[in-house]
């Protein structure tokens, strides 16, 4: 259940709690036993997130690559001596904390070239300071597919999942069915800034809560899985866009762009 924010949160916490010292790496559940043995006891040099991927650089050029897929989770454990649940695919334990990985789609070990191959497939990540939004703008202008589909394409922009897509498009008033290339420059700039803001906030919170004041988690979003729009109260529209269910308010996110200002 992870969009990019959870990987960045894990990278941040691992940097603070594990990097710079040897890490005990095990596979309680067993399926990562061989990989764990390759890095167990090595010093962790860096923990980095890019999109929905987590890359752990150990000494001797060994790299662990994690992707949580649909069901995976990473749990931070403050007492590293407490035993993990037996289903944990991997445990990374330092002196002050441990991180347990459950149900990842990918959990593998490679060399530095593995890191480069992973990153080469990914577009700019709004959570990374080195992200270049102009690359995303250029990409959008060449696409006829719905912007809601484009936002889920990790090669165009990485780290955005179904919740960030729905919430960011709502916040900027853009309907997910709008063709990518029809977005105005102003709409794109607002979209990029909004993605960066809500994703950064989600790293802080450890959850995606875009709507202030919502008490229960189910109320913390404007349109995602909401029957009614949190802004205007109108019905939320569901449609499959880019292979996933999209959520939008047709009143706050008009399906048609305003008519061009200049017409011959």
**106: nearest Cα among 173, 47, 32, 162:** 32
- Output 103 or 196, the one with its CB closest to DNA: 103
Compute and round to an integer the Cα radius of gyration of the chain.
20
Q: Judged by CB under 7 A, which of 105, 113, 138, 232 binds DNA?
A: 105
Query: Interaction with DNA in 121-180: which residues (CB under 7 A)?
Result: 121, 152, 154, 161-163
Residue 122 backbone dihedrals phi, psi, to 5 degrees: -110, 140
- Output 44 or 55, the one with its CB closest to DNA: 55
Residue 112: both structure tokens together: 């530095």
- Output 39 or 54, the one with its CB closest to DNA: 54
CB of 221 to DNA, least distance (A): 10
Q: Does 197 bind DNA (CB under 7 A)?
A: no
Could you say which DSSP state residue 261 is in?
Answer: S
For residue 137, the tally of other CB atoms under 10 A from its CB is 15
Residue listed under structure tokens 């922009």: 157
Query: Interaction with DNA in 25-64: which residues (CB under 7 A)?
Result: 29, 51-52
- Output 52 or 170, the one with its CB closest to DNA: 52
Query: Interaction with DNA in 203-262: which residues (CB under 7 A)?
Result: 207-208, 225, 243-245
- Output 9 or 42, the one with its CB closest to DNA: 9
Q: Give the three-state DSSP class for 92.
A: strand
CB of 21 to DNA, least distance (A): 28
Torsion sign, CA atoms 107, 111, 112, 113: negative
Distance CA 89, CA 102 (A): 5
Question: Which residues pair with residue 154 across a beta bridge?
Answer: none
Give the N- to C-terminal CA distance of the chain in Å, as an integer: 50
Determine the interface stretch with DNA among 58-66, 99-107, 129-137, 182-190 (rule: CB under 7 A).
99-107
Distance CA 101, CA 117 (A): 22
**107: nearest Cα among 26, 45, 6, 43:** 26
CB of 139 to DNA, least distance (A): 16
- Output 44 or 248, the one with its CB closest to DNA: 248
Q: Report the interface residues with DNA, using CB under 7 A.
A: 1-3, 29, 51-52, 67, 69-72, 87, 89, 102-103, 105, 121, 152, 154, 161-163, 207-208, 225, 243-245
């Amino acid at each position: 259940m992870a969009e990019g924010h959870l990987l960045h949160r894990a990278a941040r916490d691992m940097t603070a709690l594990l990097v710079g010292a040897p890490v005990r790496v095990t596979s309680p559940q067993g399926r990562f036993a061989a990989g764990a043995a390759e890095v167990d006891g090595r010093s962790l040099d860096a923990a980095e997130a890019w999109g929905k991927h987590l890359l752990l650089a150990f000494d001797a050029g060994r790299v662990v690559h994690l992707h949580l897929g649909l069901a995976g989770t990473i749990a931070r454990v403050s007492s590293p001596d407490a035993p993990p649940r037996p289903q944990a695919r991997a445990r990374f334990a330092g002196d002050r904390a441990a991180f347990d990985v459950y149900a990842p789609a990918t959990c593998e070990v490679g060399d530095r070239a593995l890191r480069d191959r992973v990153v080469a497939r990914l577009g700019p990540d709004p959570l990374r300071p080195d992200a270049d939004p102009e690359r995303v703008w250029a990409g959008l202008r060449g696409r006829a597919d719905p912007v809601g589909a484009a936002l889920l394409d990790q090669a165009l922009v990485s780290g955005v999942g179904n919740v960030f897509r729905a919430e960011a498009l709502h916040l900027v008033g853009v309907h997910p069915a709008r063709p990518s290339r029809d977005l105005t420059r102003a709409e794109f700039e607002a979209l990029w800034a909004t993605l960066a803001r809500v994703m950064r906030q989600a790293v802080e919170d450890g959850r995606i809560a875009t709507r202030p004041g919502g008490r229960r988690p189910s109320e913390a979003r404007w349109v995602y899985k909401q029957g009614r729009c949190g802004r205007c109260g109108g019905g939320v529209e569901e449609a499959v866009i880019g292979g996933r269910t999209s959520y939008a308010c047709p009143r706050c996110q008009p399906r048609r762009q305003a008519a061009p200002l200049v017409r011959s």
